[in-house]
Chains A and B, each alone.
Chain A
């Protein structure tokens, strides 16, 4: 069955430091891959997506992610974290199963310390 694993429940980084959030997926074919961000009390917002082509994708707010087929990974990175990046981050896999279904990982909570 398709699944998404985010091994880190929470991560704390200092403001200005670099960030990497890990994501591994299980899916037979090349998946559609997404990263979403959720601020407290809000719905999710798409940061970036990968469908095909260049395996390094750029997103909003200075985020990027790299698709590595050999590792079944799609890790999210940001070179310099800002305090406003503190939020919950969700990796997701999209697949066509009847309709288009998006399966989310359990999320990683990012804390940013001054």
Chain B
């Protein structure tokens, strides 16, 4: 009964490819997020959706495009992958935006 699940757990791909990461939460939360954790463990918010509406969009390259088909799902599509995109990407959800529930992460390696 995973509360926030994201797939795949590992993603290895070549530079220039396009890839997607999927996230689903079964907590009934209205807000979902994408965070990026770099190799030094630094966590930075990328996007936030509230009830399918984009409400936070940090300075992320437009190669990254989030999509929320409904409030239980938030996917992340990345075009033209670059070496610097290698990181762990975490999906999270919350109700009223306060306590975050995290997925277990997707480790993206761009070769």
A residues contacting B by CB (< 8 A) are: 32, 34, 36, 38, 41-46, 49, 51, 88, 90, 94, 96-104, 106-107, 109
Instruction: A49 to B98: give the CA distance in the assembly, Å.
Output: 9
Q: Is the CB of B4 within 8 A of A100?
A: no
Chain A residues positioned under 8 Å from B104 (CB to CB): 41-43
Please list the residues of chain B having a beta carbon within 8 angstroms of any beta carbon in chain A.
4, 31, 40-45, 48, 50, 55-56, 90, 92, 94, 96-100, 102-105
Bound-state Cα–Cα, A25 to B73, Å: 32
Given contacts A43-B92, A49-B98, 15 further A-B contacts (CB under 8 A): A34-B99, A38-B41, A41-B104, A43-B103, A46-B99, A88-B41, A94-B98, A96-B97, A98-B55, A100-B94, A101-B48, A101-B56, A104-B42, A107-B42, A109-B41
For A107, give the chain B residue with the smallest CB separation: B41
CB <8 Å contact, B102 and A103? no
Query: Chain A's nearest CB lies how many Å from the CB of B54?
Result: 9
Q: How far is the CB of B30 from chain A (nearest CB, A)?
A: 10
Bound-state CA distance A39–B45 (Å) is 20
A85 to B: closest C-beta gap in Å: 17
Whether A97 lies near B56 (C-beta < 8 A) is yes
Of the residues A46, A49, A99, A109, contact of B48 by C-beta under 8 Å: A99
Could you say which residues of chain A place their CB within 8 Å of the CB of B40?
Answer: 106
Asked whether, in the complex, the Cβ of B41 is within 8 Å of the Cβ of A44, the reply is no
Interface contact B48-A43, CB-CB below 8 Å: no
Chain B residues contacting A43 (CB-CB under 8 Å) are 4, 90, 92, 102-105
Closest B residue, CB atoms, query A102: B100
What's the least CB distance linking A47 to chain B, in Å? 11
